[in-house]
Structure 1
Amino acid sequence: MDKPVRHIMGLSGGKDSTALAIYMRDRVPEMEYFFCDTGAELLETYEYLAKLEVYLGKKIVRLSSERNFDHWLKIYRGALPSPNMRWCTKVLKIEPLERWIGTDKAISYVGLRADEASRKGYMSKKKNMMSIFPFIDDGLELRDIESLLIESGLGKPSYYEWRTRSGCYFCFYQRKSEWIGLHDSHPDLFERAVAYENKKGYQETASKEAYTWSQGESLEQLLARRNLLKTSVAHPRSSGLLLDILAEDDDDDESFCASCHL
């Protein structure tokens, strides 16, 4: 007798996947929820997932690699993950998920919204898995997702006060202003990210400049520039807000990893 098709949904601790869990809770009662834990998540993410478990009335399965980030960093010879080499997604998220599913037939529910239908997330190459996009199919956009979160009583994760998406504390897709937010909210994690950046043997560009988490400057340089700008903005003759100045340097907000940030 064939095993029944599994219905699965990956949760990142972000607003879109959370809203999808709310949206699908009563539509697919047999849903299995999972969270790929990299070991580098914010405390707020774990707290938010705990609240979501209460709302769903189901346990969220934690998936993780058999080895931690530091092990894989050594395997990749100290090359920090980047938009051009996202090994972190592969070994810390995709491989644990595919190991959990095995050969079972599964339908994966993905939280891409109708207003971002052109974005691409993880699409498994395994023939036993297929992805569907309920928000796109039903035409739900950002305003609908925000309404779902408010009406459920969960609201947005608290880190949205200084960050625009979920993911590892050292995610290279963060805006410069979000790196500053990490420093101000979690100075210990910011220092860990600096330590990774300062390790010898990490990736170098063609110009032999050391790779940095934040494009064009190291985290230490970014922080120093923020402090200089802060002093300048506080001067009676200066104008403009600090975050507005930093925002001018931010990377394109269209860049993100759908496997991590939904």
Structure 2
Amino acid sequence: MVERHVLGISGGRDSAALAVYMRQHHPELDIDYFFTDTGKELPEVYEFLGRLEGFLGKPILRLNPERDFDFWLREYNNFLPSPQTRWCTRQLKIKPFEEWVRPFVKAGDIVNSYVAIRSDEDYREGYVSAQENLQIHLPFRTAGIDKAAVGEILEAAGIGLPEYYRWRSRSGCTFCFYQQKIEWARLLDEHPEAFAEAQRYEKTAMEHGSPFSWSHGESLDSLARPERLRQIRIDHEKRVARVLARRPVNALVNDMPMDLDEVYGQGKVCVTCHK
């Protein structure tokens, strides 16, 4: 029997910080780091993975090299994923992980999987294993590490945050349906070619009878109109102003960058993709 240790990297801050934490606090463990690639990640995600690999001193295994988003979109007859039908999470994130560890579990190995659920996320649970020898561990929850501590871990390691946090709150696909309207507007600013690709997917999906658009309640064509973009930005600035008005008068706090979670609330997210 072999005891294995695995840790999934999403391209977000929490899982990256957990990888750093485990490397620093448990150097005796030979951890296999993996990333389930949808084929539609932001360029900033790949750059961040490279930085993280430099710190860890070992490569992050890329799962899912063949069956990417385009493959599964065809399998689902061009119907877009949505909060109601999250086939993207199942097929592009969970299934590749299960297929990767299945031979280990079948051989009787103990597989320890480390998941980056923080201590301030009591309402969240990670992947639930149905296999007795696939054991899930939540080190951050055990150690009392919260969101602020995650940022400190990455800064102290010289890695910092992924560049996309400058304009977006989540990792994952460029066209994740959990994005806020302002994030779609900023995707158009930062990566217009990715926004255009999302528009093409949406149009094809509608032609095939898909009831869902990427952004709740409107198409990307509608969202991309100049007057609509202007309104989205105005609404966002109003939200930011309300948050700033509620902040205590504290120079250190007021100098902190505005987190979109603070503006819009935590909201619904896919833990598998966004940690």
* TM-score relative to the length of structure 2: 0.83
Given candidates 123, 140, 147, the residue that maps to 2:145 is 140
**How big is the alpha-carbon RMSD for the aligned residues of Structure 1 and Structure 2?**
2.2
Query: Cα offset for 1:67?
Result: 2.1
Report the counterpart of residue 266 of structure 2 in structure 1: 253
Q: Which residue of 1 aligns with 2:125?
A: 120
Matches of 1:85 and 1:98, distance apart in 2: 20
State the identity %.
Answer: 44
| 2:208 aligns with one of 163, 183, 201 | 201
Q: Which has the higher helix share?
A: 2
8 A contact 1:112–1:136 mirrored in 2? yes
Query: What is the CA–CA distance in structure 1 between the aligned matches of 2:192 and 2:160, rounded to whole Å?
Result: 25
1:65, 1:91 within 8 Å by CA — same for their partners in 2?
no
Q: Is the contact between residue 65 and residue 93 of structure 1 (CA under 8 Å) also seen in structure 2?
A: no
State the distance in 2 between where 1:201 and 1:42 align: 27
Letter in 2 for 1:168: C
**What is the Cα deviation at residue 116 of structure 1?**
0.9
Report Cα offsets for 1:207-233 as digits up to 9, x if no partner: xxxx11111111121121xx2166679
Letter in 2 for 1:9: L
- Which of 8, 14, 31 aligns to 1:10? It is 8
1:11-65: per-residue Cα shift (whole Å, max 9, x none)?
A: 0110000110111103143111000011010111001001100100011000006
CA distance in 2, matches of 1:232, 1:184: 15
| Alpha-carbon offset, residue 260 of structure 1 | 0.3
For the residue of structure 1 that corresponds to 2:224, the secondary structure is: helix
Length-normalised TM-score, structure 1? 0.87
Residue type at the aligned position of 2:18? L
| Matches of 2:116 and 2:143, distance apart in 1 | 12
Task: Give the structure 2 partner of residue 243 of structure 1.
Answer: 236
Q: Deviations over 1:231-261 (max 9, x none)?
A: 679xxxxxx945325889x976320000000
Q: Secondary structure at the match of 1:98?
A: helix
Number of residue pairs aligned between Structure 1 and Structure 2: 245
| Counterparts of residues 48-127 of structure 1 (less than 5 Å) | 48-64=48-64, 66-104=66-104, 105-127=110-132
Q: Deviations over 1:124-166 (max 9, x none)?
A: 3333312110111111111111111111111100000110111
- Unmatched 5+ stretches in structure 2: 105-109, 243-262
For the residues of structure 1 that align with 2:231 and 2:222, how far apart are their CA atoms? 16
Report SS of the residue matched to 2:51.
helix
